Each structure stands twice: as C-alpha cells, then as structure tokens.
C-alpha cells in the first residue's frame, strides 16, 4: 500500500446533503481519511495510491456535490 495525501480547496461549505454523500466516499476502498478545514475551505484526503489516483479522488468528491476549485501543492 502506498499512502498519499492530496488537498483540495472548495468554494462553498458543504451542506447536509453533501456531507451525507461524503460518508459514501469514506467507504470507497482505498480512501483512508477525509479531513476538512472549514477556515481555509480545504479538504485533505489520505488515500491508497495503488488503488486510486488524485484525479479519481477529485472525481469522487465532485460527485458528492462538493464544489472543488483547485488542488493545492503540499510542501
């Protein structure tokens, strides 16, 4: 297993419906953790890179209705 983290900025805070949909993302094989920073409007996703790519993770998040605006570069 190769664990990676990716951080995305989102435009609008997730509502109740989006948060429920995000629960299903947590159940996807390869997603390890989702962490939100409401102040910075970011979501950090830890995932198994041998199962998923960063693009696949972004697609999963967008399918929930989360309005992703950009992928941030981790230092």
Count how many domains the chain has. Answer: 1
Q: Flag whether pLDDT at 19 surpasses 80.
A: yes
Q: What is the CATH number of the domain that holds 34?
A: 3.30.70.100
| Residue range 30-71, pLDDT digits in tens | 999 999 999 999 999 999 999 999 999 999 999 999 999 999
The model's pTM:
0.91
Phi/psi for 51 (5° steps) reads -110, -35
For residue 29, what pLDDT is reported? 93
> Which residues span the domain enclosing 23?
3-72
Closest to 46 in 3D by CA, of 3, 2, 17, 1:
3
Q: How far apart are CA 5 and CA 17, in angstroms?
A: 25
């Amino acid at each position: 297993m190769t664990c990676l983290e990716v951080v995305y900025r989102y435009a609008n805070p997730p509502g109740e419906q989006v948060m429920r949909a995000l629960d299903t993302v947590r159940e996807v094989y390869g997603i390890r953790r989702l962490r939100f920073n409401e102040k910075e409007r970011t979501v950090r996703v830890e995932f198994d890179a041998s199962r998923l790519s960063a693009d696949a993770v972004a697609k999963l998040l967008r399918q929930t209705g989360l309005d992703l605006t950009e992928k941030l570069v981790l230092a």
